[in-house]
Structures are given as C-alpha cells and as structure tokens.
Amino acid sequence: MLSVISGFLSIVYNETRRLIKSFLISYVWFAVLVLISTYALFAEKYVDLSIDGALMAFKYVDNPMTDVLSYIVSFAATSSSEVMSGNVPTLVFPVSIGVIFFILVPLMLSLTFIGNQIIKKASTTIAGEDEKKTLFIMASSPQTRQSIYIGKFIGLILLTIPMIIFFYFITDRVFTSLFSPAYNVGILVMKLLFINAVLFASAGMFVSVLFKNEKKASWAGTRIVTVAATLTSIWIMIPFIDFMLNLTNNSMDFLIYLEKLTWLSPFTLGLMAVYNPSVFAGYFNILIAASVILFLIGMVTFIKQDLEY
C-alpha cells in the first residue's frame, strides 16, 4: 500500500515538475497583467456613496453593469447644471463602482487567463502522452488509471496555486486600501479562482482523453475558454444593449433568454457570485458540480481506453 501511495506521489511530483518548466512565462505574464489592471484602479478616487437604483430599472439583478449604467445616468443628470454653467464636473466614483471595475477588469482577466492556461495544459496532458506514446511508463506500473488521472489533475491544479495566492494578496490589498468600506471579497475570489482552475482542468482533461491528438485537443480546449469568455462579454454588455434598445423603442424580450444563455459560462457565474456574495454559495456549488461531472466522465473514459503501445 505504501509503495502505491509513494508511486502516486511521484506521479504528482513528476507531472508538476514537467509542467512548471513551461508555465514560468505564464506566471510572469499573469503578474504583469494583474498589476497593470489593478494599478489602473488606483488612478481614480472612490467615496462611500450609494447609487440611486430607482433612476433606471433593469431586470438583470446580478449584472454589475446595471450599477455602472445607473451611476452614469445619475451622474449625467446631477452634473448637468455644472455643465450648463461651463464648469467641468469632478468625477468621483462610489466604492461600489470601484468594486465593479475590479470585478470586470482584474478579476475577469485573471479568470480567463488562468482558465485559458490551465485548459491548454490539461487538454494536452493525456492526448500529448497518447500521441507521443509515453503513457505506457505509468500505465504499465502498479498505478491504477485512476491514480494516473488524479495525479495529473493534481499536478495541473498545483500549477495554478501561485497565481491564485498572488491574486488573493492583490485583492486583499485593493480592498483594504482602496475600497475599505466595501466587503472584502479576497477569500471569495480565492475560492472562485480555485474552482475555476478545477473546472477548466477537469474540462481540459476530458477533452484530452477524447482527442488522441495533441493539436486537436489543444484547439478544442482553448475554444471552450473562448466560448465562455464570449458569453460573459455578452452578459456584461446586456444592460447596455437593453438601454440602447429601450431608447430606440425596440423589443428587448430576447435579452432575457440571451442572459440565461450566458449563464452557461463559468466566468459569468463567477462574476455574478463575487458581485453579489449572498448568492456565492449557490453558484460555487454549481461550478463544483460541473467540475465533478466533467472530472468523472473524463476519468471513466480514460479507464476504459485501450493504450496501444
């Protein structure tokens, strides 16, 4: 039993060691992008103001863009006298808008970056070995297919830990120094990034066992992130589209269905959960369930596969 556990740990170690070499550049890029996007937040001033939501009524309760739109309209309305008298109004954002900026830029960036990087690695982890025919080393050792699959999975997740921890500290710093009156979402963000990594690693590994070709698997994996990011971008824009259609008296009924479609993206659920922490647990559980299902389907497929080496 001890030898099997020891063998399993060496799969995890070997996988992490193998992947980390090709991940070093990703860490640097991640740090640079997060620092730049977060630094931009410090360029504005934030005050403890509440937004008058009654000015505009939206049906999209968990969409942060509704607050941004309400604030823009309210700012335009309240500063019109200043503009008319020839003065330039001072733009000061409420803390809640600052939090939304944080959610929409650094957090969305981190989610997509980690999702993209992890799915790229995950989708090639078994397909690559399958194509190169190197999987026999582990498959003919006293390790079960489950151990190999789980070992590779843990190796992938370990890769994201430095990025998640880095982003947690950045979030914590932003919320304690810039948005101090707001609820610090550091822990929620850390949980979200972790489940996001788990979900994309599960999806990537499932793709990896389906496609026995590294190039095809990588293509399919990155397409998943592209589709998810596109859906979330549409979700972000829905209040704007609603606003524009409202101005032109066009029908907006389809937006309700479009919004529901965008919920298929884990990024959308993630952003909604951080924007409204009261629903975090529910959305987090959905992401856990999706990860578990994808992980199990992938593992069972892998167990049933013949390895023709």
Partner 1 sequence: MIVVRKLNKKYRKTRAIKDIDLHVNKGVIHGLIGPEACGKTTILRILSTLVRPESGEATINDIPLVKGLNIRKIIGYVPKTPHLPNDYTARDLVRFAASLHGIHDRNIIESILKQIGLESVADQRLDRFSQAMEKNVAFAMACVHNPLVLLLDEPMAGLDPVSQKRIREYLLASNKTVLLTGNDLDTVDGLCNSVTVMRSGSVIVDGEMASLRQQIGKGAIEIKLIDVGQTQKLLFELEKNGAKVTVSGESIYVHYKKDSEIPGIMKIAAGTADIIDARPVKISIDDIFAKYHPVEK
**Residues forming the site for partner 1 (CB under 8 A):** 2-7, 10-11, 14, 18, 132-134, 136-144, 306-309
Please identify, using beta-carbon distances, which residue of 1 and 57 lies nearer to partner 1: 1
The amino acid that residue 292 corresponds to is V
Shorter beta-carbon distance to partner 1: residue 140 or 176:
140
CB of 138 to partner 1, least distance (A): 6
CB of 295 to partner 1, least distance (A): 21
Name which of 140 and 180 has its Cβ closer to partner 1.
140
What DSSP state is assigned to residue 182? S
Alpha helices in the chain (DSSP H): 2-41, 64-78, 80-84, 95-102, 108-132, 136-139, 145-177, 186-210, 214-247, 253-262, 266-275, 280-304
Nearest-approach distance from CB 308 to partner 1, in angstroms: 7
- Residue 200: name the closest of 153, 261, 145 by CA: 153
Q: Which is nearer to partner 1, 141 or 184 (CB)?
A: 141
> Residue 198 and residue 296: Cα distance in Å, rounded?
13
**Minimum CB distance to partner 1, residue 25 (Å):** 16
Distance between CA atoms of residues 158 and 20, nearest Å: 9
Task: Decide if 115 contacts 200 (C-beta within 8 A).
Answer: yes
Shortest distance, position 136 Cβ to partner 1, whole Å: 6
CB nearer to partner 1: pick between 143 and 265: 143
Task: Count the neighbouring beta carbons within 10 Å of the beta carbon of residue 192.
Answer: 27
- When the beta carbons of 10 and 213 are compared against partner 1, the nearer one is 10
Question: How far is the C-alpha of 282 from the C-alpha of 107, rounded, in Å?
Answer: 19
Q: Minimum Å distance from CB 300 to partner 1?
A: 14
Q: What is the dihedral of CA 297, 303, 306, 309, to 10 degrees?
A: 120
